[in-house]
Each structure stands twice: as C-alpha cells, then as structure tokens.
Amino acid sequence: MKIGVLALQGAFREHEQVLGSLGARYTEVRQPEDLHGCDGLVLPGGETTTQRKLAQTYGLWEPMEKLGRQGMPILATCAGLILLAKRIDEEPGSSMDLLDIDVRRNAYGRQVFSFETPLTVPCLDGVHDPADSFRAIFIRAPRITRVGPAVTVLASHKEDPVAVEQGNILGLCFHPELTPDTRFHIYFLEKVRNREASRPGRGTAAGIRVTAGHGS
C-alpha cells in the first residue's frame, strides 16, 4: 500500500511524518507519473489558489480528479477540502467537484484567529481506545455551508460541519497532521486498506500499525 501526498505547496511534510509514524509508505506527488502505483491520496492544507494553479500547470488536476471519480480514497484537509468541493464561495467551476458540499474560504477568520477545539467524532470510537474527543486545529479554515444528501457529517463545531465523508472522500476543515492524535489518518488508511482488499486479484493489502498513540 502506497499513499501519494500532493507536495506542491502547504503542509505536506507534516502529513508525511504522520503516515511514516504509522508505518505507511508514501510518495510525494509533483508530476502525473508520481501518481502511478498509489493506492490513496492526501491533499494537504495550504493556499488553495496556488495549489490549484500548480496542479493545473504540472498536469495533475485531471489525473487526480479521474482517480477520485474512480474510487481512490482521498484525505483532503483545509485547502484540500476546498479543491474537492462542488462550489467555492458560491462560485462553481473552480474545483474538482468530487465532494457534494459548498464551502466559504477563510470563513473562520485570518491566521491570527486560528484556534483549537475538541470535537466529538463517533466514527473514531473504534479506531482508538479510549474514545476521547479529537482536538482540532483550525487555521484560516473553510466553512462548509451546504452538505449534499450523499455526504455524511462526521463531526461539527457550533452546528457547522467540519469533518465529512462521501464514499472514498474524507474531507476535514482542520489540520489533523498538526496534532499528535493520529486517529483520522488511521481511519483514512483503513479506507485504503479495505478498498485494496476488495479489489479483484489484489488480496489483502499490507497491514499498518493502528496502535499509535494520540495526545490531548
């Protein structure tokens, strides 16, 4: 099992550190050929416009969109979530439209207004014991303003959805890679492993360690 991490801009190295700590193989994705052999994809936080322009310039936009539509598991955090949304700031046509949500960029305020907050995330209860709240870090975070019928809300902050899932896509408004709590990455890797196990001729994918600790 190998995870591609979009490494054009943003917090990709932090995601790589978490994946490495969990025993998962990863590769940095900067060119279309870097996607070959990947079983999952991480779209990190950063600057949305820059990431989109670089992905289009280097020919990654369409291949990533195609893989997402074919069912490749994708973990998209902050800017990555924005790239997958159906509409950004009520303007369609500037994203991959893989996740049936509308988002508003930087809706929680500028970087000076960054904050941390505990989230109740029931889907993580079976990923780590005990089932503690997840302390989420919001930095210039997008706000999800609409959720489509096929989207499951995994966690909310003050009634706003902040963690969502639609089939192969896991989208987070916050930065799980900046905390010692690895449960969202474990949850994502399990999605990758389950897909690989269900594919004809692939058998059971290589296991990952799921006992990594998490901090408070």
- Please say whether the beta carbons of 170 and 149 come within 8 A: no
Q: Tell me the pLDDT tens digit for each residue of 97-122.
A: 999 999 998 777 666 568 999 999 99
CATH number for the domain running over 2-198: 3.40.50.880
175 is catalytic: yes
The yes-or-no verdict on residue 203 having pLDDT over 70 is no
% of the chain exceeding 90 in pLDDT: 75
Q: Tell me the pLDDT tens digit for each residue of 8-59.
A: 999 999 999 999 999 999 999 999 999 999 999 999 999 999 999 999 999 9
Identified catalytic residue from 16, 78, 128, 185: 78
Provide CB contacts within 8 A for 79, sequence distance 6+. Answer: 10, 43, 44, 45, 46, 47, 48, 51, 142
End-to-end CA distance of the chain: 29
The yes-or-no verdict on residue 212 having pLDDT over 50 is no
Domain ranges of the chain: 2-198
Identified catalytic residue from 165, 173, 177, 185: 177
Alpha-helix residue ranges (DSSP H) falling in the chain: 12-21, 48-57, 61-69, 79-84, 183-198
Identified catalytic residue from 15, 128, 157, 175: 175
Whether the pTM exceeds 0.85: the reply is yes
